[in-house]
Chains A and B, each alone.
Chain A
Amino acid sequence: DTGVSQNPRHKITKRGQNVTFRCDPISEHNRLYWYRQTLGQGPEFLTYFQNEAQLEKSRLLSDRFSAERPKGSFSTLEIQRTEQGDSAMYLCASSRGGAQPQHFGDGTRLSIL
């Protein structure tokens, strides 16, 4: 069990640019989640995959956001035309099925200049 891995750890970009984050879940976990955490707040749910199927998306996930999980393994989260309000920590978590708890990665901190 190598844990959930997220890359990069920190991304600095100019407003209007596109960014992509990657999450590698724990290998035997078929469920993968993305959350966003702003400074001093609790994480907020963005989207959820079971294997390669994206089963739920939050209304926080505007049309500038897209997430994929090809082949049910790693996942990517892309933000197009970044805005100042996108500055946050983006957390990925994975779990087995059923009632198993979610395990989190270290997160990717996005800073918009």
Chain B
Amino acid sequence: AQTVTQSQPEMSVQEAETVTLSCTYDTSESDYYLFWYKQPPSRQMILVIRQEAYKQQNATENRFSVNFQKAAKSFSLKISDSQLGDAAMYFCAYRSAQAAGNKLTFGGGTRVLVKP
């Protein structure tokens, strides 16, 4: 079974600065997808960025970028130019690329605090 680990329960960042969230995962599969989701307080989970394991190029979405290290099974998220609206729980998630493997396996989350 796949597992996802987020080792940082909470990270604090100054507005306009950069913060990096860590995520490691364990799988025996070679083809899969990785995601970062954002969950603001009392609001719905929103997809931030996704990465296909077969792509070597790291995904980027505006101020959000990932560092995908397949051999190390590491998938970190960098938030640049942090804004107050970035404050939320961030979850790393894994999804198998097999036809039957549609479920997401989530890490425990990292709370991001943004200081004005």
Please list the residues of chain A having a beta carbon within 8 angstroms of any beta carbon in chain B. Answer: 3-4, 31, 33, 35, 40-45, 48, 50, 55-56, 58, 91, 93, 95, 99, 101-107
Given contacts A42-B106, A43-B106, A55-B102, 19 further A-B contacts (CB under 8 A): A31-B102, A33-B102, A33-B104, A35-B104, A41-B108, A42-B4, A42-B91, A42-B108, A42-B109, A43-B104, A45-B105, A48-B102, A58-B103, A93-B45, A99-B33, A104-B37, A104-B45, A106-B43, A106-B44
Would B103 and A33 count as touching, CB distance under 8 A?
yes
Are A48 and B103 CB-contacts (below 8 A) given A41-B108, A99-B97?
yes
**What residues of chain A lie closer than 8 Å to B33, measured between beta carbons?**
99
- Bound-state CA distance A94–B84 (Å) is 29
List residues of chain B with CB under 8 Å of any chain A CB.
4, 6, 33, 35, 37, 43-47, 50, 52, 91, 93, 97, 100, 102-109
- Cβ contacts under 8 Å, A91 to chain B: 45
Complex Cα gap A99–B4 (Å): 19
List 26 A–B pairs whose Cβ atoms lie within 8 Å, in order of A's numbering: A4-B44, A31-B102, A33-B102, A41-B109, A42-B4, A42-B6, A42-B91, A42-B106, A42-B107, A42-B108, A43-B45, A43-B106, A44-B106, A45-B103, A45-B104, A45-B105, A48-B102, A56-B102, A93-B45, A95-B102, A99-B33, A99-B52, A103-B47, A104-B45, A105-B44, A106-B44
Taking CB atoms, residues of chain B closer than 8 Å to A33 are: 102-104
Contacts of A99 in B (CB 8 A): 33, 52, 97
Chain A proximity of B45: nearest CB distance (Å):
4
